[in-house]
Amino acid sequence: MNGRRRYHEIKVLCLILMFASFIYEGIFSESSHLDVESSTVIKEEIAEKNSKKTKEEIEPPRIAITFDDGPNAACTGRLLDGLKERGIKATFFLIGEYAEMNPELVGRIHEEGHVIGNHTYHHVDITRLSDEEAAYEINETDKVVYGITGEHIRYVRPPFGVWQKDLELEMEVLPVMWTIDPLDWTTENVDEIVNKVVTEAEEGGIILLHDCYESSVDAALRIVDILTEEGYEFVTVEEMILD
């Protein structure tokens, strides 16, 4: 009798252990399933971060460097030499009468891949002129540059940064202003000019300088070196606008 009871107790114990085993396996299986899902989510997040990082590495911040009031017989050639040595393309807003006096520099600016913009023929505030006089200032500069390069000018930087909106429609020219102005024409202190520009540099920035001062040329080449080292890519205003 005792033997039969003991056998029955052992049988019940085995059934309990078997049932407990089934429950444990179910829980473990579910836990494993959750672990796999969590791992997948983590991997996806890491991949997304790496993708963003790779994109940032492929597409560095871009900035444009521009020069007004040229071409200048004493300074523009040296500036072009420095830009060519560094593989940098810039934008030159030319004064028509100076372009007419220095056709070889205009030709070189064009041939070396820089963009030429219009800065009026006499460097005048066109808002103080009649529509006819303002159009003349822009057209005369375009005529000079076209005679040298065979291409019309698409961009204009109005002197003093003031513009007549109607001219944009009538003449099919696009005004281009700036975001960084170190007022280089007020000082010969190269360090001051450089510091002003590099501390304000940002993605999509447009730097305003002048290629008619030796100090501005020195500053421009140092600015290019510093910002290139910081990872910036220099582009023309045309590339900035079209993109």
pTM for this prediction? 0.76
- Residue 126, token pair as written in the block: 């066109």
Q: What is the per-residue burial (b if ≥16 Cβ within 10 Å, else e) of 169-195? A: eebebebbebebbbebbebeebebbbe
Q: What does the alpha-carbon distance between residue 68 and residue 46 come to, in Å, rounded to a whole number?
A: 47
pLDDT of res. 58: 72
Q: Backbone phi, then psi, for 181, in 5-degree steps?
A: -130, 105
Helix (H, G, I), strand (E, B) or coil at 102: coil
pLDDT of res. 211: 98
Give the mean pLDDT per block of 10 residues along the chain (243 residues): 50 52 49 50 59 62 98 98 98 98 98 98 94 93 98 96 77 91 97 98 97 98 98 96 80
Helix (H, G, I), strand (E, B) or coil at 90: coil
Active site positions, annotated: 68, 210
| Alpha helix ranges (H) inside the chain | 2-58, 76-86, 96-101, 103-111, 131-149, 165-171, 190-200, 214-229, 237-242
pLDDT of res. 57: 57
Angle 125-76-104 from CA coordinates, rounded to 5°: 95
- Residue 31, token pair as written in the block: 């836990």
